[in-house]
C-alpha cells in the first residue's frame, strides 16, 4: 500500500512538473512577461524581480563601395601624309 501511494505521489509530482515546464515556454514567449517576489514587514522591504528587457539600438552598416575601371578608349590612327 505504501509503495503504491508513493508511486502515485511521485507520478503526480512528475505530471505537475511536466505541465509547468511545458507552460513555461509559452509564458515566456512574450516580451512583457515579468515576475517578482517581495517580502514586506514594517521597516524592512526585500524584493527581487527579473527586470525589463530593452532591445539594443539598431545598427546600420553601409554597403561596401564598388569601384569600376573606366572603359577603354580606342583612337583611330592618324591619316597618312602624302
Model pLDDT for residues 18-63, shown as the tens digit of each residue: 877 776 666 555 666 666 667 777 777 777 766 667 788 899 999 9
Strand, helix or coil for residue 15: helix
Q: What is the pTM (predicted TM-score) of this model?
A: 0.30
Cell 580606342, residue located: 74
Q: What pLDDT, on the 0 to 100 scale, is given for residue 4?
A: 76
Write out the H or E segment, with its range, that includes residue 12: helix 2-27
What would the DSSP string read from start to end of 31-66? TT---EEEEEETTEEEEEE-----PPPP---PPPP-
Amino acid at each position: 500500500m505504501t509503495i503504491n501511494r508513493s508511486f502515485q505521489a511521485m507520478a503526480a509530482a512528475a505530471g505537475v512538473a511536466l505541465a509547468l515546464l511545458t507552460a513555461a515556454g509559452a509564458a515566456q514567449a512574450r516580451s512583457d512577461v515579468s515576475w517578482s517576489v517581495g517580502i514586506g514587514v514594517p521597516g524592512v522591504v526585500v524584493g527581487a524581480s527579473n527586470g525589463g528587457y530593452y532591445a539594443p539600438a539598431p545598427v546600420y552598416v553601409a554597403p561596401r563601395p564598388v569601384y569600376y575601371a573606366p572603359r577603354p578608349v580606342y583612337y583611330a590612327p592618324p591619316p597618312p601624309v602624302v
